[in-house]
Amino acid sequence: MYRTVSCSTLRETHIGQTVSLAGWIDTIRDHGGVLFLDLRDETGITQVVFQDTSLLDGVTRESVISVTGEVVARDPETVNPKLATGLIEVKVSSMEMLGACTGRLPFIPADSMETREEVRLKYRYLDLRNPAVHENILLRSRVITYLRRQMEDMGFLDIQTPILTASSPEGARDFLVPSRKHRGTFYALPQAPQQFKQLLMVSGFHQYYQIAPCFRDEDARQDRSPGEFYQLDFEMAFATQDDVLNVCEQVISNTFHTFAPDKAISDAPFERITYADAMLKYGTDKPDLRNPLTIIDLTDFFSRVEFKAFKGRPVRGIVADCSACSRKFFEDSLKFATSIGMKGLGYLTASEGQFKGPIDKFLTDEQRAEIRTLSGIKEGETIFFISDSPKLVNLFAGQIHTWLGETLGLIEKDAFRFCFVVDFPMYEINAETNKLDFTHNPFSMPQGGLEALETQDPLTILAYQYDLVCNGIELASGAVRNHNIDIMKKAFALAGYTEEELANRFSALYTAFQYGAPPHAGMAPGIDRMIMLLADTETIRNVIAFPLNGNAQDLLLGAPSTVTEQQLRDVHIQIRPETTV
Q: Is the dihedral of CA 526, 531, 536, 540 positive or negative?
A: negative
Give the distance, in angstroms, between the CA of residue 485 and the centroid of all CA atoms in the same chain: 34
Task: Give the number of other Cβ atoms within 10 Å of residue 63's Cβ.
Answer: 17
Tell me what pLDDT residue 423 has. 97
Tell me what pLDDT residue 447 has. 97
Give the integer Cα–Cα distance in Å for 577 and 253.
53
Contacts by 496-503, CB closer than 8 A, 24 or more apart: 496/435, 496/436, 496/437
Which element (helix H / strand E) includes 186?
A: strand 186-189
Mapped onto helix, strand or coil, the DSSP state of residue 229 is strand
> Going by DSSP bridges, is the β-strand pair 227-237/207-216 parallel, antiparallel, or unpaired?
antiparallel
> What φ, ψ does residue 47 adopt, rounded to 5°?
-80, 130
Amino acid letter, 553: Q
CA nearest neighbour of 471 among 241, 264, 250: 264
CA nearest neighbour of 408 among 339, 318, 471, 286: 318
Amino acid letter, 174: D
Give the integer Cα–Cα distance in Å for 67 and 92.
6
CA nearest neighbour of 170 among 126, 139, 229, 215: 215
Q: How far is CA 237 from CA 17, 250, 446, in A?
A: 59, 18, 18
Beta bridge partners of 470: 418, 473
Give the integer Cα–Cα distance in Å for 226 and 248.
25
Give the count of alpha carbons within 13 A of 427, CB side only: 22
Give the integer Cα–Cα distance in Å for 164 and 174.
12
How many residues in total does the chain contain?
581
CA nearest neighbour of 157 among 224, 216, 66, 234: 234
Q: Residue ranges of the domains in the chain? A: 12-99, 117-265+519-581, 291-411
CA nearest neighbour of 25 among 1, 59, 72: 59
Tell me what pLDDT residue 12 has. 96
Give the integer Cα–Cα distance in Å for 285 and 188.
30
Tell me what pLDDT residue 67 has. 97
Give the integer Cα–Cα distance in Å for 480 and 500.
24
Inter-residue contact 217 to 174 (CB < 8 Å):
yes
What's the alpha-carbon Rg for the chain, to the nearest Å?
30
Global pTM?
A: 0.92
Note the helical H segments in 472-542.
485-494, 499-505, 507-512, 527-535
Give the integer Cα–Cα distance in Å for 328 and 544.
42
Tell me what pLDDT residue 222 has. 74
Mapped onto helix, strand or coil, the DSSP state of residue 540 is helix
Which element (helix H / strand E) includes 208?
A: strand 207-216
What percentage of the chain's residues is helix, strand, coil (to nearest 5)?
A: 35, 25, 40
Q: Any residues with CB less than 8 A from the CB of 467 and at least 6 apart, and which?
A: 285, 286, 420, 421, 424, 474, 475, 476, 477, 478
Bond before 560 cis per omega within 30 degrees: yes
| Number of DSSP helices (H) and strands (E) in the chain, helices first | 16, 24
Inter-residue contact 200 to 175 (CB < 8 Å):
no
For the segment 125-159, what is each residue's pLDDT rounded down to a tens digit? 999 999 999 999 999 999 999 999 999 999 999 99
Tell me what pLDDT residue 170 has. 55
Architecture of domain 117-265+519-581: 2-Layer Sandwich (3.30)
Beta bridge partners of 437: 428
Inter-residue contact 508 to 200 (CB < 8 Å):
no
Tell me what pLDDT residue 33 has. 84
Tell me what pLDDT residue 171 has. 65
Bond before 269 cis per omega within 30 degrees: yes
For the segment 494-509, what is each residue's pLDDT rounded down to a tens digit? 999 999 999 998 899 9
Tell me what pLDDT residue 581 has. 60
The DSSP result for 234-249, as a single string, is EEEET--HHHHHHHHH
- Tell the CATH topology of 291-411: Gyrase A; domain 2 (3.30.1360)
Tell me what pLDDT residue 261 has. 96
CATH class of 12-99: mainly beta
Low-confidence ranges of the chain (pLDDT < 70): 169-171, 580-581
CA nearest neighbour of 492 among 506, 480, 479, 513: 506
Give the count of alpha carbons within 13 A of 374, CB side only: 18
The DSSP result for 264-327, as a single string, is EEPPSSPEEEEHHHHHHHHSSSS--TT----EEE-HHHHTTS--GGGTTS-EEEEEEE-TT--H
Give the integer Cα–Cα distance in Å for 218 and 174.
9
Give the integer Cα–Cα distance in Å for 359 and 344.
12
Mapped onto helix, strand or coil, the DSSP state of residue 132 is helix
